[in-house]
Structure 1
Amino acid sequence: MGRNGHHGHVNNVSYVRYAETARVNWTRNIGTHVDRANKRAWFNLLGSTGVGLILKSIKIDYKFPMTAPDKISVYHKLAYPPPASSSPASSAYSSFQLDVLILSEAHQRPAARCHEDIVAYDYRLGRKVKMLPPFMMDQFRTLWELQEASKRTWGVKVKEIEARVRRLETASWDRPDAVEDMGSSG
């Protein structure tokens, strides 16, 4: 899970590695499971012979000092919507941002949240590309739509749970005859 620091906590550099490794897996998974027609192109983005992806910057907000042994899950999502294909901004879309959640399985809570700025770089020309490849833009638009649909679906479910909890509270705690049990025996 990474090297431990002086007090047994996971070293800060490990979080960058977790995010990087997960982003590589995220990219591979898009090519393997989502956009099979462009699988080779997605995989090529991970190399340094053509157009590849470079981490321009990463910001990490640490939520608590995670310690080993622990298992983690790392989740990526697009931070912003990609421009529509008809938008003039789509021709100047050479980078993208990802939000990352690093979850401690042992504590069942976020250990860190990250924000990555990723640039597409043409290794043959030795410079940043002017525009992300069309196959990426198409998939990013689809992924954004799926993210938003999922957000709406889960938002409704959360509201339903909150309403059920409120009904439970009203039926049990908010009655005039309700008495709080302070845990005394007898």
Structure 2
Amino acid sequence: MTSQGHVNNVIYNRLAESGRVNWTRNLAQFSDPKYQQEWFDLMSPKSIGLILASIRTDFKFPMTFPDRVTVLHKLVTKPDYSSDRFYLEAVMYSEQQRRPAAKCFEDIVVYDYRAAKKAPLKPFMVDELQATYDLQEQRKEEAEKKVAELQTFVQQVEDSAGAA
């Protein structure tokens, strides 16, 4: 951040990282309690961990300080039992501007720190990520249905207003 209140572009990627850590911790909270510690350990170099292989950030507008930012992540693809990586999309919403400030596309690699190489996701992680992906798709379908219903309603109102 500069003295004028401009948020430096690197901060967007830090926000995405913090959001990704929180997203993973939330998965831990909703998964089987016996696996919670392993979810938390993904954020440390203890055994199996997650490494950001790449990130692409599409800036929508320059944020300024002070602002409150909400970071939302979603799975881009549905992992399977052979997956040693997964892809996330993050959106950063500016409360001050009431719109997305940036979008990030993240390539996350599963890494075994003990063996010093990539590793597949553990089966319980795949199960949880697949369930999360399926929920995302279900919510997307529900939202699209509501939008279609709203568009139909608006069209009916416009048609009846034009007929009067």
SS of match in other structure, 1:125: coil
Matched, 1:121 2:121: no
Q: CA deviation at 1:132?
A: 1.1
Match of 1:45 among 42, 45, 48: 42
Please say if residues 7 and 62 of structure 2, whose CA atoms lie closer than 8 Å, have aligned partners that are also in contact.
Answer: yes
TM-score by length of 1: 0.82
Instruction: Give the deviation of 1:7 after TM superposition.
Output: 5.3
Moved more, 4-13 or 105-114: 4-13
Confirm or deny: 8 A CA contact 1:35 1:139 kept in the other structure.
no
Match runs of 1:66-105 below 5 Å: 66-83=63-80, 90-91=81-82, 93-105=83-95
Q: 1:133 to 1:165 in 2, by over 3 A?
A: same
User: Residue type of the partner of 2:108?
Assistant: I
Q: Which amino acid aligns with 1:99?
A: E
Q: Distance in 2 between matches of 1:48 and 1:63?
A: 33
Q: 1:45 to 1:159 in 2, by over 3 A?
A: same
RMSD: 1.6
Deviation of the 1:175 alpha carbon: 4.7
Percent identity between matched residues is 45
CA distance in 1, matches of 2:148, 2:6: 36
In structure 2, stretches of 5+ residues that fail to align are none
The equivalent of 1:181 in structure 2 is none
What's the CA shift string for 1:28-48, capped at 9, x where partnerless?
111112443311110111111
The normalised TM-score by structure 2 is: 0.92
What is the number of equivalent residue pairs in this alignment?
Answer: 164
Q: Greater Rg, structure 1 or structure 2?
A: 1
Q: What is the one-letter code of the residue matched to 1:49?
A: K
Q: Paired residue for 1:24, among 21, 26, 41?
A: 21
Rate the CA distance shift 1:60–1:134 in 2: closer, same or farther, 3 A.
same
The whole-number CA distance in structure 2 between the counterparts of 1:35 and 1:157 is 33
Return the letter of the residue paired with 1:74: V
CA contact 2:5–2:66 (8 Å) conserved in 1: no
